[in-house]
Amino acid sequence: MNKSQFQQLKQYVGPNLLNYILNYAKITSKSDYDQLELLPVQVEVLDDLHTKIQQCRIQFIVQGGFGDGVDFYLRQITSNGTSLFNHYRQLCGGQLASPTSTDPLTSHLQQICIREYPNLLMKSSGTSYPPPWIGMNLGINGYDEIIRLVKNDVLDQITNKKDGLDYAFQFSTTDGLEFNSQVCTACSSIITRSFYDSCNRMDYSLSSVLKAIEENIDAMRQLANGQQVTYSSFIGIRGLQFRGFDTIEFPGSMLRQFPDDANPSMHTGRTVVSHSGNEAGEYSGHVLEVFHSTKISSTTGVVNTGNSIETNRFQENELQKLRFAVVFSSLANRGPVPTFFEIGFPLVNPGNYSFSDGHPGNYILIDEATKTKLVEWYDALSNKDLERVQTPLKRLQYAIFERRNPEDAIVDAIIAWEGMFSEAFETTFKVTGSMAKFLRSGLKRGEFFERLKKLYGLRNDLVHGRTSKLLKEENIEDVRAEVINIGLECIMKIISNDRLLSMSSAERIEAILVLDQTNNSSTQQAAASDNLSGTD
């Protein structure tokens, strides 16, 4: 074994599987072979694995394969009745785990997981077929045993009651999920779903996966008993960096940061970014775990659906709360972008997900102080009635997160101004005058008012296709940031003021321009406003 061969092993199977088979815990994606303190038997195992990889590559080519299908062939090799990787682990002094549950069905699935766990840990080449969660072939005897266990379980109540391979889980849920899944293959789905959900939670140790299997079986039984259960969905996030912590807990969700790029999740490459020399950490990339509640709506199901309109809407709502909480707390005019959306219901196969190729404009640092504001804003966005500010929020969403063209972002941001301060017979003065009086005081108000009128005139030029004098004199990206920041300042103050939040846009104009009662009636809320928005 030399440096080059060791790097090849890391490339083909990944550091997680190497640590597992060597009964070791020190190999990372950046480890150098010369830095490792390996026993002779561990070196022999690495040499043997390297030889088998070369044999698999030749076999793949001889059989007409294109690309590299090493992972597929390695998963097929067994030794002494167990997988090649478990055999290696035992040679290196490691013990194979035992099921943690005494429940017959749960214990049986955990035993299968223990056997297949190293295969799931292996870094996938991305070209082999079938992928590991589909290639988990339990055999006829294994299928018969799972069918027998389910038929003797309360889970039989949510099946079609048929026999053999026709025996299937069959039901629909109140949030639109639908299943007609063979019991034998559905149990494989539960195992692999437990593994990849654990990856999304940044703890894919075998003990964590065995616990997840137990929790998923318990959830299925609660559904069979007519109870309401909670399950998770996951959203990949790119564009944030945590400093000093790796998890933030929100009402109804959890945001976790990838510690490195070694996670065997299928989403790691899409979500994790390396930041060389950055004091906040070498890597960024996050997963937002969102908690859904559901129950059985009927015992009919024709197809398998990994999502529904309702689950998608729920995910999107939680994502937007997070994104706005980020920009509100950091005062950024660009925000994080999603990289994938995945439902973590026990019967949903891994790989049933959608993805996004968006790129963040920058990476926002979240330190302890920003974290506190972030949680406060997320809570406010979760618990306040935002019905009267949906239009400006939607337009700010477009301007900050979705518009690539700065002219489009400027138009959307100023439409958001109008959504906060406008009425049937709208005038430039009503919008800009209200905002100037709302956001500034004293000598600064007049200067700010004149600036708002210029920016509002820019909006009219852009909409009507006229050449803008302002954009000849100023950088368009700076103008984009300015109009968005003004919109953010307004919406943050309105959300922090329950009286203004409950008003229509026309009522706000009257309260600010005509009655001038905002400051007098909102004195008691000023402290709360300052804490949430950080504005003067």
Q: In DSSP terms, which residues pair with 355 in a beta bridge? A: 340
Sequence-distant (≥ 6) Cβ neighbours of residue 247 within 8 angstroms: 254, 255, 256, 257
pLDDT at 61: 79
pLDDT at 519: 47
**79 confidence band (pLDDT: 50, 70, 90):** confident
Q: What are phi and psi of 184, to 5 degrees?
A: -65, -40
Which range among 20-34, 88-102, 137-151, 198-212 shows the weakest confidence by mean pLDDT?
137-151
d(C-alpha 347, C-alpha 34), whole Å: 44
For 258, the 3-state DSSP assignment is coil
For 41, the 3-state DSSP assignment is helix
Longest CA span, the chain: 86
Which range among 124-138, 164-178, 251-265 shows the weakest confidence by mean pLDDT?
124-138
Sequence-distant (≥ 6) Cβ neighbours of residue 148 within 8 angstroms: none
Beta strand 364-366 with 240-242 is parallel
Question: Average pLDDT, stretch 428-446?
Answer: 91
pLDDT at 527 over 60: no
pLDDT at 23: 96
Whether the CB-CB separation of 168 and 160 falls below 8 Å is answered with: yes
pLDDT at 423 over 80: no
H helices present in 137-277, as ranges: 139-151, 183-200, 206-224, 268-271
pLDDT at 473: 87
Query: For residue 495, which of 332, 386, 372 has the smallest C-alpha distance?
Result: 386
Question: Average pLDDT, stretch 223-242?
Answer: 96
Sequence-distant (≥ 6) Cβ neighbours of residue 16 within 8 angstroms: 121, 123, 204, 262, 264
pLDDT at 126 over 80: no
Query: For residue 6, which of 42, 39, 44, 46 has the smallest C-alpha distance?
Result: 46
Whether the CB-CB separation of 265 and 195 falls below 8 Å is answered with: no
Q: What is the DSSP string of 425-452?
A: S--HHHHHHHHHHHH--THHHHHHHHHH
**277 confidence band (pLDDT: 50, 70, 90):** low
Q: Say what the pTM is.
A: 0.89
pLDDT at 407: 93
pLDDT at 358 over 90: no
- If you average pLDDT over each of 217-221, 302-306, 508-512, which comes out highest? 217-221
Question: Average pLDDT, stretch 245-249?
Answer: 96
pLDDT at 319 over 70: yes
Query: For residue 223, which of 213, 215, 235 has the smallest C-alpha distance?
Result: 215
Indicate the DSSP class of residue 100: S
d(C-alpha 345, C-alpha 365), whole Å: 32
d(C-alpha 387, C-alpha 33), whole Å: 59
Neighbours of 337 (CB within 10 A): 19
Q: What is the DSSP string of 344-405?
A: --TTSPTT-EEE-----SS-EEE-HHHHHHHHHHHHHHHHS--GGGHHHHHHHHIIIII--S
Q: What is the DSSP string of 479-503?
A: HHHHHHHHHHHHHHHHHH-HHHHTS
d(C-alpha 287, C-alpha 328), whole Å: 20
d(C-alpha 467, C-alpha 461), whole Å: 7
Query: Is 242 or 64 the better-scoring residue by pLDDT?
Result: 242
Q: Quote the tokens at residue 247.
A: 């998890």
Ramachandran area for residue 265 (φ above 0: left; ψ -120 to 50: alpha; else beta): beta
Question: Average pLDDT, stretch 354-364?
Answer: 79
Whether the CB-CB separation of 365 and 241 falls below 8 Å is answered with: yes
Q: In DSSP terms, which residues pair with 286 in a beta bridge? A: 237, 257
pLDDT at 130: 43
Distances (CA, A) of 295 to 173, 177, 210, 220, 225: 5, 10, 24, 10, 10
